[in-house]
Amino acid sequence: MRKGLITSRLIYSIIASVILTNMYIKTPNGKLILFPFMICSFALTIKYIFMLFDKDKYARIFNKIYTIGFLLFMFGFLIFWCYKGIVDKQYSMLIFSIPFWIAGIYIIRKRFRNNTEIKESSKKQEKKLRLNFPIVMICLLVGICLISGILMLFFGIRDTYRLNILTKNYLITNGYYYNYEIYSSDKDGTTYKLYYKYTVDDKEYTISTDYGTNYIPDENSIREVKYNPNNSEKAILVGSNSKNGLIYAGAFFTFGALTFVIVGLSILGVFDKIKIDIVRTYIGCLFTIIGIGVVLLQNGTTMSFIETIKNMKLWILIPIMFVVVGIHQLIQGLKTQKN
C-alpha cells in the first residue's frame, strides 16, 4: 500500500520535473521564476526514490530541500511585493505583507527545528505573548484589517448583487472593441480605458470600461454587452468591473488578516490536538484561491481564456504555480497526522 502510494507520487513529481525543465529550457526570459519550482519538483522526485528503498534518513534531507524551494518562491514573491510597495510609495502593501512573512517564518521554525526545541519555544512564546504591548498593537492592526476586509467584501458583494438585479432583464448583444484612452500612467506602466460599440435596432451606441487595464484587445474583438431594452443607451459590459475590484481588495485584506490569526493561534498551541496541519492547509487554500483569482480577474477583462493566456504571456506561470503549490500544500496539510 505504502509503496504504491509512493510510486504514484514519484510519477507525478517526475512528470512535473520534465515539464518544468522543458519550460526552463525553452523560456528565454523569466527563468528565475521557474527555479524554485524546479528545486521543489526535483527534491520530491529524489525524496520518493529514497522512500521506495526505505532510506528515510536521506528522504528527510530532500524533504527539507523541497521546503527550501517552496520558501524561495514564497519569500521571493514577498520581496518583490515589498519592493513594488516601496517603489510605488504604497506603504500599506508592506503592512499587509506582514502576515505572509510570519507564515513563512513559522514554516522555517517548524520544519528546521526538532520537536523538543519547538515545545520549549512554544512555552516561552506563551509567557511572552501575555500582555506584550507590541503584540497588542499588532493584534489591533490585524483586527482592523480583518474588519476592513469583511466590510469591503460586504459592500462589493452587495453592489454586485444590486447590479445583477438591476440588469436581470437586460438583453445581451455583442460589443466590438474600437478604441482606447489612457486611464492612468506611471513609471510602472500604463493602463487603458477601453471603448466598445454595439448596435441596437440599427442604431450604434458606445460603452467603456469603468476600470483601467493593461490589456488592449485586437480591433473588433467581441465582448458581450447587456443593455436596457427600454433605453438602449443604458448598458454594461459583461465581465470585470469596478465593483469586482472591491471584492478582490476585500478578499486580500480578509485572507491576509486571517493568515496572521491562524499562525498566531498555531504558535500558541490552539491546534495541537487537531490531526491535520491547520496552517499548511490554510496556506494551501490561500495559494490556490490567489492563483485562480488572478486568472479569473484577468479573464474578466478579456472574456476568453485564450486571450487571457495571450495577454499574460510568461506571467501566466505565476498563478498556475500558485495553484500547483497551493493544491500540494493543501493535500499535504490534510494528510498530516500529528502524534
Give the pLDDT of residue 137: 57
Mean pLDDT value of segment 24-31: 63
Asked if the model's pLDDT at residue 177 lies above 80, the reply is yes
Q: Find out whether 216 and 192 touch, Cβ atoms under 8 Å.
A: yes
Q: How confident is the model at residue 95 (pLDDT cuts 50, 70, 90)?
A: low
Q: Find out whether 106 and 266 touch, Cβ atoms under 8 Å.
A: yes
Going by C-alpha positions, the residue among 238, 254, 160 that lies closest to residue 198 is 238
Give the pLDDT of residue 31: 63
* DSSP designation for 206: E
Going by C-alpha positions, the residue among 108, 154, 137 that lies closest to residue 250 is 154
Per 3-state DSSP, the chain is made up of helix, strand and coil in percentages (nearest 5) of 65, 15, 20
Mean pLDDT value of segment 131-136: 53
Lowest mean pLDDT among 79-88, 122-131, 217-226: 122-131
Give the pLDDT of residue 113: 62
Cell of 198: 454595439
Give the pLDDT of residue 21: 78
Helices (H) and strands (E) in the chain, counts: 11, 5
The contacts found for 45-54 with CB under 8 angstroms, 24 or more apart, are 45/10, 45/13, 45/14, 45/17, 48/6, 48/7, 48/9, 48/10, 48/13, 49/10, 51/6, 52/3, 52/6, 52/7, 52/10
Q: How confident is the model at residue 263 (pLDDT cuts 50, 70, 90)?
A: confident
- β-partners of residue 48 are none
Give the pLDDT of residue 183: 77
Q: Where exactly are the structural domains of the chain?
A: 1-89, 165-241
- β-partners of residue 200 are 203
Mean pLDDT value of segment 314-334: 79
pTM tops 0.75, yes or no: no
Greater pLDDT, 236 or 133: 236
Q: How confident is the model at residue 26 (pLDDT cuts 50, 70, 90)?
A: low
Identity of the highest mean pLDDT range in 59-68, 70-79, 247-256, 262-271: 59-68
Asked if the model's pLDDT at residue 1 lies above 50, the reply is no
Lowest mean pLDDT among 172-176, 181-185, 234-238, 299-303: 299-303
Asked if the model's pLDDT at residue 131 lies above 50, the reply is no
pLDDT in tens, 136-167: 656 666 777 788 788 888 888 888 888 888 88
Lowest mean pLDDT among 131-135, 153-157, 249-253: 131-135
Q: Find out whether 173 and 203 touch, Cβ atoms under 8 Å.
A: no
Mean pLDDT value of segment 256-264: 77
Give the pLDDT of residue 304: 62
SS3 80: helix
Ramachandran angles phi, psi of 172, nearest 5°: -110, 135
Mean of pLDDT over the chain: 75
Give the pLDDT of residue 197: 92
- What percent of the chain is modeled with pLDDT above 70? 73
Distance CA(219)–CA(238), nearest Å, equals: 18
pLDDT in tens, 266-309: 777 777 788 888 888 888 888 888 788 777 766 655 556 666 66
